[in-house]
Structure 1
Amino acid sequence: MTEHQDPILRIAAFSDGAVGGNPAGVWTGAVLPPADVMQRLAHQVGFSETAFAAPVDGGWRVRYFSPASEVPFCGHATIALGAALAGAHGDGVYALTLNAAAITVEGRRDAGGLVSAALQSPPTFSRAADPALVQAALALFGYGEADLDPRIAPGFAHAGADHLVLALASRAKLAAMRYDLEAGRALMAAYGLTTIVLAWAETGRLFHTRNPFAIGGVYEDPATGAGTAALAGYLRDIGWPHGGAIDVVQGEDMGMRSRLHADIGALPGSSIRVSGTARFMA
């Protein structure tokens, strides 16, 4: 099928009710287009990611493209896909086959036009961040060691994609985030990062985050499900007192306030459930 026969839906994932959220494109069809066509469509849409899905073996084969490249997993585009599948095929849980993982997404419509959606991330793992990477990232954003939260050491965290986690000591430092896009792209490419998760812990269970996505040609995402899953897995690994779940506010500094919830099971390395609402865009 061609892109003309299958228009791309625009859906804001992890919305704050009927506003905010991170826009994603969602394409569904009988067979996935060639990779170069998906890349071109994602570039034309211009959102940080577009999900492409086709039915296979009782589930859906899914690939994700940013305007600049394919990415292995995207949380907010998965939530948007869950909303699209619920709208087209009914409420339920859908099995998704990614390039290197098998996950699920759930979508359930409500009377107000929103969709409650939840994904189960790929397995998680983490380790201490490379000191050279930490120093390069601090220089990129103009931060110093004193700007970091000493309770959460910098970490390399994975939940379907690789992220650097930097916890900041104040909300003001998070709000002050600035960096050069090309320098950020080079740094992320050198270390194989999908995003850098900048986080501030307001409480043990409430975090404010920002997610530069320079490798995808996007300065910042207003909601990042993959980054939230990676952060949640990392907090579990370091023994953070999360009490089984965290809530994340993201996009506030962009004027696109978004809300994400992550349920954290006790088993190290296990999937993180990331949930929120999605709204269809005009």
Structure 2
Amino acid sequence: MAFVLGFLFAFTFVIQQIHAECGFTSGLRIYNQVVLDCLKNVTLQPNEATVTVTELKKYFSSYAFRDVNLNLPGPPIGYGGQSVHIFDRLDEIAESATNVFDFYQDITELVGSLHCAHTVYQSACFQNMVMYTPYTFRFSIDPSTGRHRAVGSTGVWSAPDTTFGYRIINSTILYINDLGLPIYNLDGKLNENSYTPEEAIVKWANQYEPISRNPYAREEFARSYSYFIRPLYTYPIPKTFNQTFLYIDRVTGQAVEAQV
């Protein structure tokens, strides 16, 4: 499933202000290496990383954040989330920063990893950039297994089957590989990062959805919205440009593997 990056009209202005000659206009673009290279083409200003991290540390040291502050390393906490050492990670981000996009995306991902609805970091750089999946899923309960059955549906892209040359719409989706790898490895076993659609959403929500410390709340919000529509001021950009689907073709009844 190729990701689609949506640019609102205002984004053209922002890009011009920071001197990245991307030539993006409003509308949708398939997320690819050209898009990513342009987004990473803006260098940080002198001391920008240091000043930003210093200010963030002041906020995280305040009384208001003492209930979520630091999440020091140790056993899983709260609802089972992994601990995060905010200050150490901020220092690592500042030291490794090379461009505006990666720097603020890393901070966005770090703050989101707290999974706290009251702790939000939104960079103005990304206010008008939204990542979409061209397909969404409709879920129902399979009476024979009791598990969720996922059926392909349209997203913001009105006719993705026409674009990609598959019949995913209204077909049952068996597995997704969000690294774009084949669903099965050479030994005939599920490959790294091959999951059912339900498992893929749960995995993504537990890692990236910041709306709640409750994993069930994260899962439900991701299932209904955020897995498919990801504003970059809240969510990190995908690690790869493609995903792989294994679906049952609604016409032929055959299993089809599609990397799109």
TM-score, length-normalised on structure 2? Answer: 0.29
Question: Higher helix share goes to which structure?
Answer: 2
Larger radius of gyration between Structure 1 and Structure 2: 2
Question: Higher strand share goes to which structure?
Answer: 1
